């Protein structure tokens, strides 16, 4: 099985390297980032042992698609995407929170709700909802990066009180989050989908707030099919969805939730192929474009060549 598991480049004027759950991130002269989207897949903050072919390409190309479309809503970090697996952009100072916004009671919010909780991140949730029901209005439920393990829920009030983000900046982050979610929801609707929930990461550079990382991809978002949503809800059945949630559910069913002493179940070829198919389906359904599979022959050499050419063409900020 061919896949891009990782890269190990030494780029000209490279000053830092960081390997995230999915991306290999190269810092150039402390002001540019080169992000290589690999085929690693994570769930419950654990990188799973088997890669998913074409997943990195799906994520990178979808992120490029939506960063380009939303650049007038909020400035973003992207400068160019010289390869199907690569994005190059501004190196920002990240805010240590993720802005999660939810239009429906799904995923983590539903798991909390099912335990009897009616407040998440300081936001009240109405009684009487069932899984995947719509909230009266979308709710923002931020998380903060934990030093180890899972990201942790945190309230707007705690973020401001602890000085994690200034009140002025946080209000702007909320405004950007709602505007992006509104755009994403309307775009999804045109594609016959419902944008259920998503997360955004922001940073700042030269006094300007910038949208970072990926947006509206299957790793950061959850989508339902619009045409069958009402019928499925009325029967209290599981929604047809395009997201990574089905991977999480498969892991839960096989006894893994990222907790101590739990072992990741064996990911056989049939399961891996099904995940690849789901990612490609989501790309095509969300973007409205046909996915073109890139060859894995000499993939590292191809990526390195395209990065090198792009860096030579970019006028680096002074």
Confidence class for position 105, pLDDT limits 50, 70, 90: very high
Per-residue confidence (pLDDT) for residue 148, from 0 to 100: 60
Phi and psi at 275, nearest 5°, equal -70, -45
What are the beta bridge partners of residue 199?
Answer: 100
| Rounded Cα distance, 102 and 107, in Å | 10
Phi and psi at 210, nearest 5°, equal -130, 145
Single out the residue of 52, 39, 49 nearest to residue 264, CA to CA: 49
Contact by Cβ (8 Å): 229, 262: no
- Report the share of the chain in percent with pLDDT over 70: 97
Confidence class for position 91, pLDDT limits 50, 70, 90: very high
Statement: residue 147 has pLDDT above 70: no
Q: Mean per-residue pLDDT for 234-246?
A: 87
Per-residue confidence (pLDDT) for residue 318, from 0 to 100: 47
Single out the residue of 96, 89, 95, 94 nearest to residue 28, CA to CA: 89
Per-residue confidence (pLDDT) for residue 244, from 0 to 100: 81
Per-residue confidence (pLDDT) for residue 268, from 0 to 100: 92
Contact by Cβ (8 Å): 192, 215: no
Query: How do residues 20-43 score in pLDDT, each as one tens digit?
Result: 999 999 999 989 999 999 999 998
Query: How do residues 173-200 score in pLDDT, each as one tens digit?
Result: 999 999 999 999 999 999 999 999 999 9
Per-residue confidence (pLDDT) for residue 315, from 0 to 100: 61
Q: What is the architecture of the domain spanning 94-246?
A: 2-Layer Sandwich (3.30)
Confidence class for position 150, pLDDT limits 50, 70, 90: low
Query: How do residues 243-258 score in pLDDT, each as one tens digit?
Result: 787 898 899 999 999 8
Statement: residue 272 has pLDDT above 80: yes
| Rounded Cα distance, 291 and 18, in Å | 28
The reported pTM is: 0.89
Biggest CA–CA distance in the chain, Å, is 59
Domain boundaries, the chain: 94-246
Strands (E), the chain: 14-19, 23-28, 32-37, 42-43, 46-47, 78-83, 86-90, 93-94, 97-104, 119-120, 123-124, 134-140, 143-144, 152-153, 193-205, 208-212, 221-225, 241-242
| Rounded Cα distance, 238 and 84, in Å | 33
Query: How do residues 73-90 score in pLDDT, each as one tens digit?
Result: 999 999 999 999 999 999
Q: Mean per-residue pLDDT for 136-147?
A: 90
Statement: residue 149 has pLDDT above 70: no
Q: What is the mean pLDDT of the chain?
A: 93
């Amino acid at each position: 099985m061919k896949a891009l598991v990782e890269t190990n480049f030494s780029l000209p004027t490279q000053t830092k390297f960081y390997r995230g759950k999915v991306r290999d991130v190269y810092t150039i002269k402390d002001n540019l980032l080169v992000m290589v989207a690999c085929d690693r897949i994570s769930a419950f903050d654990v990188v799973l042992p088997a890669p998913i072919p074409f997943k990195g390409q799906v994520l990178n190309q979808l992120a490029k698609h939506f960063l380009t479309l939303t650049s007038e809503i909020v400035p973003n970090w992207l400068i160019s995407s010289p390869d199907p697996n690569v994005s190059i952009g501004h190196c920002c100072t990240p805010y240590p929170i993720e802005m999660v916004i939810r239009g429906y009671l799904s995923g983590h919010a539903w798991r909390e709700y099912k335990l009897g909780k009616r407040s998440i991140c300081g936001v009240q949730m109405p009684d009487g909802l069932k899984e995947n029901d719509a909230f009266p209005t979308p709710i923002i439920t931020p998380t903060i990066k934990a030093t180890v393990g899972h990201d942790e829920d945190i309230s707007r009030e705690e973020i401001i009180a602890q000085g994690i983000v200034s009140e002025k900046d946080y209000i702007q982050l909320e405004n950007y989050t709602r505007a992006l979610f509104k755009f994403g929801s309307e775009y999804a609707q045109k594609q016959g989908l419902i944008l259920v929930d998503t997360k955004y990461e922001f940073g700042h550079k030269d006094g300007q707030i910038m949208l970072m990382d990926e947006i509206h991809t299957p790793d950061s978002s959850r989508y339902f099919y619009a045409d069958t949503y009402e019928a499925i809800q009325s029967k209290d059945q599981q929604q047809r969805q395009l997201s990574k949630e089905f991977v999480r559910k498969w892991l839960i069913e096989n006894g893994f939730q990222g907790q101590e002493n739990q072992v990741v179940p064996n990911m056989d070829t049939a399961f891996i192929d099904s995940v690849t198919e789901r990612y490609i389906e989501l790309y095509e359904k969300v973007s409205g474009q046909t996915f073109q599979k890139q060859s894995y022959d000499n993939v590292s050499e191809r990526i390195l060549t395209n990065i090198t050419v792009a860096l030579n063409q970019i006028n680096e900020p002074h």
